Amino acid sequence: MTPLLSIENLSVVIHRSDPGDSGRQIAALSNVSLDVNAGEVVGLVGESGGGKSMVARSIVGLLPPGSRATGRVLFAARPGAGEQVDVLTMDRAALAGHRGRGAALCFQNPRGALSPTRTAGRQLTDRLTTHQGMALGRAREAARELFEQVGIRDPGRRLDAYPHELSGGMAQRVMISLATGCAPGLLIADEPTTGLDVTLAREILRQLRHAADTDRRGVLLISHDLASVAEVCDRVVVLYAGAVVETGPAGRVLRTPAHPYTRTLVASVPQVDGHPVVATPGGMPLLARAPTACPFAPRCGHADDTCRTQHPATTEWGAGWQVACYHPQAENLAGNLAGSPATQAGGARTATQAGPAGPRPPAGPAAPVPAAVPRTVLSVEDAHVVYRSRFGGGGHHALRGVSLQVAAGETVGVVGESGCGKSTLARLVLGLVRPAAGRVTLAGHDLSRIRGRRLRRLRIRAQLVFQDPIGSLSPRRTAADAIAEPLRAQGVPAAERAGRVAAALARMGLDESILPRRPHELSGGQAQRVGIARALVGGPDLVVFDEPTSALDVTVQAQILQVVAELTGDESRGRVFISHDLATVRGFCDRVVVLYLGRVVEEGPVAEVFSNPRHPYTRALLSSVPSLGAGFAGPRLELVRDLEEADAATGCPLAARCPLVTDRCRAEPQELVGYGASRAACWRVPEMPELLRGGGAGA
């Protein structure tokens, strides 16, 4: 059967025509070939800059200005009929017919991709009337059904909503309905789950699988989330520096990758089962022309002279499995692959179990508690934070009675979905917001009492590492200036500053050539190292990491996580690591605190919380994390609604979403109660094993 889409030797070169760097060109894609069949979900993975979006854009004939494409993008207007048309040679009229009806792109950032001045319903009926020839009244009816199909509650009302009135998850669903509303043969989803919470991400991916299974569409899923791709996709294509390095059955390729780059990628992803990430130094190059050698050779441990001088051709590695490498690796990745016999033999250094979790798992790698009682560097007691709305009245209650202790030498992970108050907690600890009630004690001083110069002095005791590495550096100041800033604020003399900056820099594994650079001249990884160096240079008692890796690419993320993990050995200070991704905190935290809607719902030693979560919310979070490894091993639980639709009025904040909810949950507020080594705010914990075995819980 003819594939729906077959890309043959597609190369895209982009010429940049700014006077500043005239003649500069970028080989965005080099000899890319891939097929997508009807009813099949194909994953396209790789880091940013690898050319994923360029592939998507060339399929719908939307290449950026100044680009030249060679090769063929063959599209079967009627799959199976055998006639294929090259998208690259289509004229305006043919392209207009092809876009939407042939291949429809589902954009990465749904908020940006929905027109702000047209209702969601109109945007959908526009597609329906254009591509399915419906009359307006009929289209509205169909739009309503489509909205319902993609899981939009109350579709009648949402039809008349403007995009800004939709939540992020809702917007993403609308975007999918827009793409499917074109009734395309091929659905291209560009990072559809980026920025969404795990529970929501799963739901969106399910929609895509549904489109392939039920409607026999071809689906091209572009994603950096390897675990989801392994789960959802039939086949996967791995891109590196604009070239296909490996392609094959998704599950097998991602669990037992053969190409060293794919192996690097997989090893860089933190896992909830506690497997440590393996960082590979370096970054992806931006090529000026199609590579004549293996683009991954400089970072590759197996590279030899052949790799550095010749570009490897694609070779068969297994059934439908191809690798572009001279030294494809056969043995399994150490410890990463559950269910594979080599895993255990491969010697996972961690004691973490890969099989079904027992109730009492061995301690994680970073659990030892020092004998002497360590000094408490941070103590938050029953803190409430309210953001007043601009024009009086109400306000947003971001934290509702949070308590937290951090001792010197300890690393505490704070996790929760977006909007649960994680960042507010960081800002509170640093004295950037004042609590409406409660106390924050930092290094023995009550942060909420003091002001002015003394507050400034105290602030130096706690430092923050930001989510956006480049944005947290002043665009007009050099890296040296940025790192030295806490020292300058402390009044450290210039001569001494230079030495301490150099020391902090060395600790981050950066060399001094970076000092005179400005933020836009730094890569994300370098900028984040500068940010960490700045946080450390003044010798603070507490370092708060606020999602320091979420804006970074997978392999860079692994590098930064490794840097952070190395810091955890430092007994002189405490650390708080905030993340929406449970897997990242698993590797190196001692304790973990789970936040939900401004409250702590569970806290305890990391190994305990991850292997034996007490609170339904924690269990649900763990259940929904996609994983290439074993994933969460215990009985799973699924929440019933999106976070945006839940509200915390009275009783348990999770009541609206919890599958185990009873009337008592809705009426009684829940306090943290100790259960074994951890504490949880749920009265049903004692009967939980029973409940999980019985009905009520999603599988």
Q: Give the footprint of other proteins on residues 493-552 (CB under 8 A).
A: 520, 531, 534, 538
Q: How far, CA to CA in Å, does 498 sit from each of 164, 481, 540, 632? A: 48, 10, 18, 47
From CA 528, how far away is CA 469, in angstroms rounded?
5
Measured CA angle at 460 (ends 457, 465), to 5 deg? 155
Decide if 40 contacts 113 (C-beta within 8 A). no
Residue closer to other proteins, measured from CB, 481 or 644: 481
Query: Which window, 94-102, 594-602, 642-650, 691-699, contacts other proteins (CB under 8 A)?
Result: 94-102
Query: Which window, 113-121, 253-261, 360-368, 664-672, contacts other proteins (CB under 8 A)?
Result: 113-121
Number of residues that bind other proteins (CB under 8 A): 89
Query: Which window, 351-359, 484-492, 561-569, 577-585, contacts other proteins (CB under 8 A)?
Result: 484-492
Half-sphere exposure of 579 (CA within 13 A, CB side): 26
- Answer for which of 39, 63, 374, 405 binds other proteins (CB under 8 A) is 63
Residue closer to other proteins, measured from CB, 337 or 487: 487
- Backbone φ and ψ for 583, nearest 5 degrees, come out as -65, -35
Interface mask (CB under 8 A) for other proteins, residues 429-448, using x and -? -x-x----------------
Query: Which window, 102-110, 267-275, 499-507, 677-685, contacts other proteins (CB under 8 A)?
Result: 102-110
Residue closer to other proteins, measured from CB, 96 or 313: 96
Which of 353, 296, 355 is CA-nearest to residue 323? 296
Residue closer to other proteins, measured from CB, 504 or 637: 504
Determine, following the binding rule CB under 8 A, whether residue 113 of this chain makes contact with other proteins. yes
From CA 500, how far away is CA 504, in angstroms rounded?
6
- Answer for which of 39, 97, 539, 651 binds other proteins (CB under 8 A) is 97
- Answer for which of 112, 318, 362, 696 binds other proteins (CB under 8 A) is 112
- Answer for which of 11, 31, 37, 53 binds other proteins (CB under 8 A) is 53
Number of C-beta neighbours around residue 353 at 10 A? 18
Q: Give the footprint of other proteins on residues 136-175 (CB under 8 A).
A: 162, 164, 175
- Cβ 613 to other proteins shortest distance, Å: 32
Determine, following the binding rule CB under 8 A, whether residue 615 of this chain makes contact with other proteins. no
From CA 528, how far away is CA 507, in angstroms rounded?
13
- Answer for which of 42, 45, 178, 567 binds other proteins (CB under 8 A) is 178
Residue closer to other proteins, measured from CB, 134 or 622: 134
Residue closer to other proteins, measured from CB, 367 or 460: 460
Residue closer to other proteins, measured from CB, 454 or 641: 454
Which of 596, 578, 482, 462 is CA-nearest to residue 528? 482
Determine, following the binding rule CB under 8 A, whether residue 100 of this chain makes contact with other proteins. yes
**Tokens linked to 633:** 């091993």
Determine, following the binding rule CB under 8 A, whether residue 60 of this chain makes contact with other proteins. yes
**DSSP annotation string for 455-477:** HHHHHTTEEEE-SSTTTTS-TTS
Which of 518, 491, 515, 493 is CA-nearest to residue 503? 515
Side chain identity at 685, as an amino acid letter?
Answer: V
- Backbone φ and ψ for 170, nearest 5 degrees, come out as -65, -45
- Cβ 42 to other proteins shortest distance, Å: 17
Question: Helices marked H in 60-197 — which ranges?
Answer: 92-98, 110-113, 120-131, 136-149, 155-159, 168-181
Measured CA angle at 40 (ends 39, 42), to 5 deg? 155
